[in-house]
Amino acid sequence: MVLSATQEETRGTAGTPQGAGLEEWRLPAAAESPKLLKMRPAGGNALVMSDPNEQLVDGCRFVKLDKIHDAVKSGASMSEPDAWGWTPLHDACSSGNVNTVRILVGTYHADVSLANRVGWTPLHWAAAHGHYEVVRALVSEFGASVRAQTKHGETPLDVAKRLQQKEVAEFLKGVNW
């Protein structure tokens, strides 16, 4: 993820880069909990996150497989949630790229059952967005539970019905409960 910054924010008053290494910036991960991120100059007037977990999430969200592989090599965790409880798999399922989902689960063993703070699993997110191929892969290939319930008691089928994701709802109805 690239954050833009003014020249004054990325350079010292004499026009030279501040420090030789990483710069520390405090960004809120949640309203009550500031998170310290390591930033590095990316050239021009931009800063790049150097936290492998943030790189992994960015790769999943924007379907950048090279970024996913690099982040995992750098120590990123498939199961470390963000402040809202989202894992990289939540982002991939929300984005809808079935190949990214297959890599995260099949290659890097992402847990399909991890729920966010309100109980939504990656399957809930794929169902909500109508990503049929992702839903099918999660259930048929990786054993995601169609019985998982949110904190409001909704299953992925309930979510698909409520949001009028007809193709996904039909598939989920046909799964053995």
pLDDT digits (tens, 9 = 90+) for 153-170: 999 999 999 999 999 999
As a whole number of angstroms, the distance between CA 19 and CA 26 comes to 17
> Helices (H) and strands (E) in the chain — how many of each?
9, 4
User: In the CATH scheme, what architecture does the domain 51-177 have?
Assistant: Alpha Horseshoe (1.25)
Q: Is the pTM of this model over 0.75?
A: no
Instruction: Give the chain's residues under pLDDT 70.
Output: 1-50, 52-53, 55-63, 177
Asked if 157 and 147 count as a contact pair (C-beta separation under 8 A), the reply is no
CA distance 156 to 145: 9
Residue 85 confidence (pLDDT) = 80
